[in-house]
Amino acid sequence: MQKEFKYCPSDFASLPAKPIHMDLHFDIYNEYANVSSTMHAKALRELKEVSLDARDLQILSTKIGSKECNFKYDKQNAKLTLFFPKKIKKGENFTISSNSICRPTKNILEGLYYDRTPNNAPPTQITQCQQWGFQRLVPCFDDMCAKCTYTTKISADSRYTHIISNGDVSSQRKNIGNKRCTITYENKKTPMAPYLFFLCAGTYDSHTREFEYPGGSKFSLELLLFPGSDTKAAEQSLEILHNAILWIHIFTGKHCYENIEKRRKLYELCLQREKIKSKKNKIKENTKLANLRKQISALASSLKLGYKYTGTIYREIGMQNSNFGGMENVGNTTITANRIMPHPNMPDGAFEYMIAVKAHEFYHNINGSEVTGRSPFELWLNEAATVFIEDKYMQFCAGAQYSRLSQVMRIISPDGGTLDFDTGAITMPILAKGFNSPDELISDVTYSKGPEFIRMVESIAGKEKFAKALAYYHKKYSHSNASTKEWVDAISESTKINFSKMADSWLTQTGYPTVHVKKQFNAKKKLLILSLRQTGFKKMCWQFPFSASLYDAKGNKIAIKQIWVKAKTAKISFPCKFPPAFISFCPSFLFYGKINYPYAESGLYSQLKFDADATSRYMALEKLAQKERMQILQKKKKHFSKKFMQAYFSLLADEKLTFQMGTEHLAISSSVEHKYLKHRYHALHIIRENFRNQIAKANKEKLLQIYFSHKQKKFPSLPFVQKTLAQIKARSVKNASLSLLSSLGEPKMHKLILSQFKEAKSATDKYAALSLILDSKLPSKMKIIKQYEKECAKDPVQYEVFLSLLGGNDSPDAIKLMKWAQNSPNFDISQSNEHRMFMRFAHNKRLSMQTSVGRAFLKKIILRLANINEYSCVHILSAFSKINDFPREFQPPLVKMLFEILKKLDSKKVPFVYNTIRRTLKGAPKAVKEYEKKARQNKKTRILTCHAKNFSFQPAGKKSPSKPKSVP
Ligand SMILES: [Zn+2]
């Protein structure tokens, strides 16, 4: 019998000793590193022995104080136990030392591993320690509470251009003979949790820039890139980083909502100062600069500003092979090389991601690194508030409405959005019950539902109060660890609002509330009453903010009310003479959940026209589209109505709107909310294609006009980031038009696509055209793709997008193309970027799960990836989370496939993948039954019984029941 999770909260008991300081020496060679470590610690109880975390190491010797001591290494459980010759008393300081060897690999992207290496250079070695990478480097307490200071000496091949660890250099780099050198870093200012440890020996191009705070203090920004990287793009990257750091200083912190106009002015002046600083003729500009600095300093001293960096250098390092987009490592943020700078071949979505990730990782300095959650279960504490601030920054850069709508779309998408995932077989509450690998906690729930919980708290407390409360939390737990309860208590204490029950409802339950709204209008009393009833909770009802705005027929907002829903039912009443033309609920997605209200079609069309909030307008459009789609699915009609198509097209043709929103407000899903019908992927695909075709047929000439007018758009007066964001929006309008036109399948449109592909000046234009070529029936398709692959292989950014486009390809050739791509000599399965092709394919469930060739290919991928990269493999498995609701005919083959995969996997070698499949099956009882039924019909009952025994479940910690349970 196996537990559902490998780790539970009880596994994180308090440490036996508090580490104070670690002296480390990494002697790095091409194949291995010899690591000497001395940990200075204080006993927190009487100790006869101590168990350290040590994963896949070779232990050479251990010492207590200056004497050798015995040890036992349990490799399987990654525990190294040291036996002390005499007891250590509680409160006593002691040192333990070890000498061990770690060996980097190419595919375990944790601990020390090899990254892409330039020709003729020694192999680039880099670390990833979140969450448990440090124990792959050295025996340690690999615990988020084990915060201590570090002195790290590194010896390595002197050909490395960069040998780096956390902190400031305390002993400069010097040669020690034998073509080797040594350098020492000291990280003594901020005690650091082990997951933040960083080490790198590599060959890079370095780009630097000064960062100057308004008050005058300075530190340097450094960008480490693969040799030969574009200098201009590197400069732009540093500018983007600079602006994010400046924004965090000026627009976050306790007083960030005071004197907003003065803050804007300060931000502008600092940017002006930077512009002057970048000019070549510095002497000419000196007086100007001095005056500006005076003005900036005076303005800054009248304001109370936010977080200031404490180090002397802040680096961003591009890593090619990584499971994560970015990782904060106290002063040494790593970012996947394809997202670190505005690369010429970068797609637009990646550009926006790049702006966000830089702000995100830097904000971790305060939220995560200085104040840290207590255990991996509290990873959400580190991430939620960080994403929350990152989102505010994106709203500042790209416009509040545009940026918020992009986030909301990722949450509400009926097929694969966070809400959808949060009711699936493998979801966990924000405070998870357990995990098999800490990577499991890096999910949509942590990065999307967590921040939404914080937004809801903010909207109940008010922005000003919440900013003060967050600052209070950061001050109270500075340089230490906080638990979830401590976070909630700090916010409650500061705002004087008790959030504990609200927090319980959101942190310990999966899913979300659905609010059923009934409207009653009393003409006599001139009263409108909204009765709310929530469903969707298990243990306790959800607590959340809810609001309603009434609009009249002319589109004026006539009343608005917001309440805090704390019980199963609630009421909102408005004095009002006439019934409103429409009611708009919860602007900007005020609470994480759904609203069930009998929307009248006319009301939705009015909302689409008049609602002040872009997210609400989008949701009205989506509701109208879903109504139409449902009718077609249920065969009540054949096509979308003319009215809807006109409304849709007018949104694309409205230039003022598209300037603000790009095509974000038009990106409706191809799915429906219906629990079962949403999995009829093939039927929904046909409906989507017909819709595109109908729109294109009705508006062909106008679409061509929109296409060509947006092709010309330029925004010369805007600064770099704003200009790029405006270009991104204009490009999306152009490419949406081209995509609609392509659905006509006319030779003229093929010509247009091909010419865009050949002449594209921006990467996104090229990729948009390529994606249309992939979906088309163009006879020259294969030739174009083969040629393009050769070109792409030279550039990792381009190659990643190319593979991702192949994976997302919707044409009948999709699988053939992927098979061809993975057999190409350019394809390297150990690289995590290469896995994107498989991930996109897996989530295109129409092909991957609802066709037999798709399933066969998917099975091969899962078996192959499971032993190479569990993280990528589990991402692929998340596509199975809703098979319980799939059409019946697809359930038996999918369940069978999962069982067959389980049989071939070693649960000890790949526990994350293995247990995820088991949990998926457990969460799909109907599908498993359907499989059993089918198997019985095929007289395969025997195999089934065997399955039932192998894969039954037992709740963690409980004794095994006398009878084995049936199949999950
Ligand atoms: Zn983060």
- Residue 345 in this model has a pLDDT that exceeds 90: no
- 642 Cα: distance to centroid of ligand 1 (angstroms): 46
- 805 Cα: distance to centroid of ligand 1 (angstroms): 27
Instruction: Give, for 84, the enclosing helix (H) or strand (E).
Output: strand 79-88
Q: What is the pLDDT of residues 58-74, one digit of tens each?
A: 999 999 999 999 999 99
Give the tokens for residue 228: 């030969």
Residue 410's pLDDT band (cuts 50, 70, 90)? very high
> How confident is the model at residue 168, as a pLDDT?
92
Q: Where are the alpha helices (DSSP H) in 138-280?
A: 231-251, 260-277
- Residue 949 in this model has a pLDDT that exceeds 50: no
- Residue 452 in this model has a pLDDT that exceeds 90: yes
> How confident is the model at residue 744, as a pLDDT?
95
- 113 Cα: distance to centroid of ligand 1 (angstroms): 21
Residues forming a β-bridge with 446: none
Domain extent listing, the chain: 9-203, 366-512, 525-586, 595-698
- 130 Cα: distance to centroid of ligand 1 (angstroms): 10
Contact 430, 380 (CB under 8 A): yes
The owner of tokens 């309008």 is 733
- 207 Cα: distance to centroid of ligand 1 (angstroms): 24
Q: What is the pLDDT of residues 244-301, one digit of tens each?
A: 999 999 999 999 999 999 999 999 999 999 999 988 776 777 888 999 999 999 999 9
- 287 Cα: distance to centroid of ligand 1 (angstroms): 42
Average pLDDT of the residues in 445-464 = 97
- Residue 967 in this model has a pLDDT that exceeds 50: no
Average pLDDT of the residues in 831-850 = 93
- 460 Cα: distance to centroid of ligand 1 (angstroms): 25
Q: Give CA–CA dist 764/346, Å, rounded.
A: 7
Q: What is the pLDDT of residues 326-338, one digit of tens each?
A: 999 999 999 998 8
Mean pLDDT is highest, among 51-60, 822-831, 941-950, for: 51-60
| Residue 733: C-alpha distances to residues 707, 753, 894 (Å) | 7, 15, 39
- 618 Cα: distance to centroid of ligand 1 (angstroms): 29
- 506 Cα: distance to centroid of ligand 1 (angstroms): 20
- Residue 955 in this model has a pLDDT that exceeds 70: no
Q: Give CA–CA dist 128/322, Å, rounded.
A: 8
Q: Give CA–CA dist 860/507, Å, rounded.
A: 37
> How confident is the model at residue 621, as a pLDDT?
96
- 534 Cα: distance to centroid of ligand 1 (angstroms): 32
- 246 Cα: distance to centroid of ligand 1 (angstroms): 19
Find, among 357, 286, 297, 290, the residue nearest to 327 by Cα: 357
Residue 530's pLDDT band (cuts 50, 70, 90)? very high
Contact 575, 591 (CB under 8 A): no
Q: For 118-122, 542-546, 955-959, which range has the lowest pLDDT when averaged over its residues?
A: 955-959
The owner of tokens 């750091």 is 245
Average pLDDT of the residues in 455-461 = 98
- 140 Cα: distance to centroid of ligand 1 (angstroms): 23
- 31 Cα: distance to centroid of ligand 1 (angstroms): 31
- 879 Cα: distance to centroid of ligand 1 (angstroms): 24
DSSP letter for 927, please.
H
Report the chain's C-alpha Rg in angstroms: 29
Give the tokens for residue 170: 């305390």
Instruction: Give, for 549, the enclosing helix (H) or strand (E).
Output: strand 544-551
- Residue 803 in this model has a pLDDT that exceeds 60: yes
- 964 Cα: distance to centroid of ligand 1 (angstroms): 42
- Residue 968 in this model has a pLDDT that exceeds 60: no
Give the tokens for residue 61: 């010797």
Cis peptide leading into 236, omega within 30 of 0? no
- 110 Cα: distance to centroid of ligand 1 (angstroms): 16
Residue 945's pLDDT band (cuts 50, 70, 90)? very low
Q: What is the pLDDT of residues 650-703, one digit of tens each?
A: 999 999 999 999 999 998 888 998 999 999 999 999 999 999 999 999 999 999
- 327 Cα: distance to centroid of ligand 1 (angstroms): 7
Task: Determine how many CB atoms are found less than 10 A away from the CB of residue 808.
Answer: 18
Give the tokens for residue 801: 């997008």
Average pLDDT of the residues in 157-168 = 97
> How confident is the model at residue 939, as a pLDDT?
65
Q: Give CA–CA dist 476/370, Å, rounded.
A: 11
Give the tokens for residue 357: 């990730």
- 307 Cα: distance to centroid of ligand 1 (angstroms): 17
Q: State the chain's mean pLDDT as an integer.
A: 92
- 293 Cα: distance to centroid of ligand 1 (angstroms): 34
> How confident is the model at residue 712, as a pLDDT?
81
- 430 Cα: distance to centroid of ligand 1 (angstroms): 15
Residues forming a β-bridge with 208: 222
- 357 Cα: distance to centroid of ligand 1 (angstroms): 8
- 328 Cα: distance to centroid of ligand 1 (angstroms): 7
Q: What is the pLDDT of residues 854-898, one digit of tens each?
A: 999 999 999 999 999 998 999 999 999 899 999 999 999 999 999
Report percent pLDDT > 90 for the chain.
81
- 354 Cα: distance to centroid of ligand 1 (angstroms): 13
Q: Give CA–CA dist 269/383, Å, rounded.
A: 31
Count H helices and E strands in the chain, helices first: 32, 29
- 384 Cα: distance to centroid of ligand 1 (angstroms): 8
Q: Give CA–CA dist 342/355, Å, rounded.
A: 9
Q: Give CA–CA dist 485/25, Å, rounded.
A: 38
- 644 Cα: distance to centroid of ligand 1 (angstroms): 41
Q: What is the pLDDT of residues 100-150, one digit of tens each?
A: 999 999 988 999 999 999 999 999 999 999 889 999 999 999 999 999 999
Residues near 775 by beta carbon (within 8 Å), at least 6 away in sequence: 742, 809, 810, 811
- 348 Cα: distance to centroid of ligand 1 (angstroms): 22
Report percent pLDDT > 70 for the chain.
96
- 442 Cα: distance to centroid of ligand 1 (angstroms): 9
Cβ-based burial of 524 (10 A; exposed 0-12, middle 13-18, buried ≥19): exposed
> How confident is the model at residue 952, as a pLDDT?
32
- Residue 951 in this model has a pLDDT that exceeds 70: no
DSSP letter for 303, please.
S
Find, among 849, 907, 903, 902, the residue nearest to 876 by Cα: 849
Strand 148-157 and strand 180-192: the pairing is antiparallel
Cβ-based burial of 754 (10 A; exposed 0-12, middle 13-18, buried ≥19): middle
Give the tokens for residue 322: 């990584």
- 369 Cα: distance to centroid of ligand 1 (angstroms): 10
Residue 966's pLDDT band (cuts 50, 70, 90)? very low
Residue 13's pLDDT band (cuts 50, 70, 90)? confident
> How confident is the model at residue 941, as a pLDDT?
43
Q: Give CA–CA dist 918/951, Å, rounded.
A: 7
* Architecture (CATH level 2) of domain 366-512: Orthogonal Bundle (1.10)
Residue 14's pLDDT band (cuts 50, 70, 90)? confident
Q: Give CA–CA dist 948/951, Å, rounded.
A: 6
- 215 Cα: distance to centroid of ligand 1 (angstroms): 28
Strand 313-319 and strand 218-225: the pairing is parallel
> How confident is the model at residue 36, as a pLDDT?
98
Contact 647, 604 (CB under 8 A): no
Assigned CATH class of 9-203? mainly beta
| Residue 924: C-alpha distances to residues 14, 91, 363, 570 (Å) | 37, 52, 40, 34
- Residue 962 in this model has a pLDDT that exceeds 70: no
- Residue 3 in this model has a pLDDT that exceeds 70: no
Q: Give CA–CA dist 795/802, Å, rounded.
A: 10
Contact 212, 293 (CB under 8 A): no
Q: What is the pLDDT of residues 887-926, one digit of tens each?
A: 999 999 999 999 999 999 998 889 889 999 999 999 999 9
Q: Give CA–CA dist 122/156, Å, rounded.
A: 10
The owner of tokens 């971790």 is 364
